[in-house]
Chain A
Amino acid sequence: MRTLFAALACWLLVVPAALAVQPDEILADPALEERARDLSKELRCVVCQNEAIDTSNAGMARDMRVLLRERLVAGDSDDDVRDFFVARYGDYVLMNPPIKASTYVLWFGPAVVLLLAAAFVWRAARRRKATVTPAAALSSEEQARLDRLLSDRDGT
């Protein structure tokens, strides 16, 4: 029974990843196939909404997967393959936008906002500290009463 569960668990782990890539697409060379799988996770299916060609069942995604493997077999480097698709579909085809002048806001904007917020909070905290005036010292009368109360409590 446990082996059955283990087998089922393995099957569940393996199957979703293997759904889109058809057996006839897979390259004979395991090293090339691994590069192809890694690259296909970085390339966007252009007819889907935010899905990589690796997991998409769209016909266009399949065509792109096959083409990508052909480029690798022809001896292209990973960068060559990326450039090949970027030349046709623009940066949009990359799942991760490249870091360049037009995407600085996208990549660094959140960090800048976080730093600004931290600076704002730090300044506000400092100002509050400065405005809180320390309580005035007790008068001699008050001090005497406090001493009396404390000594009373100690006594009982």
Chain B
Amino acid sequence: MRQRLLVYLPLLAFMVLAGYFLWGLNPDRNPSIVPSVLIDKPVPETSLPALAGLLQPGIEPASFTIGEPVVVNFFASWCIPCRAEHPLIARLAEQEGLTVYGVNYKDKPDAAFAWLEDLGNPYHAVGADGSGRTGIDWGLTGVPETFIIDGEGVIRYRHVGPIDTTILEERILPFVETLR
């Protein structure tokens, strides 16, 4: 009887391996995405001067505790995917009525200003993170990245890479609804 069970051992080993490969080769899995440790943690201490040229305030620690969800979008004028997601960031701010802050990551202020002049400025405030320090504090692995903060200043959601319509409608908006 035990011998007979042993016969199935290779099959079992194969199935475990096959399951692992199925998971590993799944096209939806992006191995370069680093899971954020900041989810459900308070926003890192963030004080950024306003982007030069804009008639807007910068970002203060108090900017994140306004009693309603806040979206924080890291962007740069040199970042092509940021340009691609820009209309959807504008939609979040203008049509969905969310407070959206931009963090201009490692950019030249005049280039960022020209970029916003060209595409429109959907942000309620834009902080300039010229050194990239704020990016590291937020565990950033690149631009664009988008965080959703609840009304009490706790990070609840993070999206790595550009937002597209599917992500916006199926993940981000429903998630924001749960916070409201």
List residues of A whose CB falls within 8 A of some B CB. Answer: 46-47, 49, 59-60, 63-64, 67, 86-90, 92
Contacts and interface: CB of A to CB of B under 8 A. Distances in A.
A63 B136 contact: yes
B32 A49 contact: yes
Interface class of chain A by DSSP: helix
B35 A67 contact: no
B37 interface: yes
Contacts of B40: none
Nearest to B31: A49
A88 B37 contact: yes
Contact of A47 (B35, B37, B131, B142): B142
Interface size class of B (residues with CB under 8 A): 10 to 19
Nearest to B141: A46
A51 to B, nearest CB: 12
Nearest to B35: A90
A61 to B, nearest CB: 11
B91 interface: no
For the complex of A and B, 3 pairs with smallest distance between CB atoms = A90-B37, A88-B139, A63-B132
A60 B37 contact: no
Contact of B141 (A47, A86, A87): A47
B137 interface: yes
A47 to B, nearest CB: 6
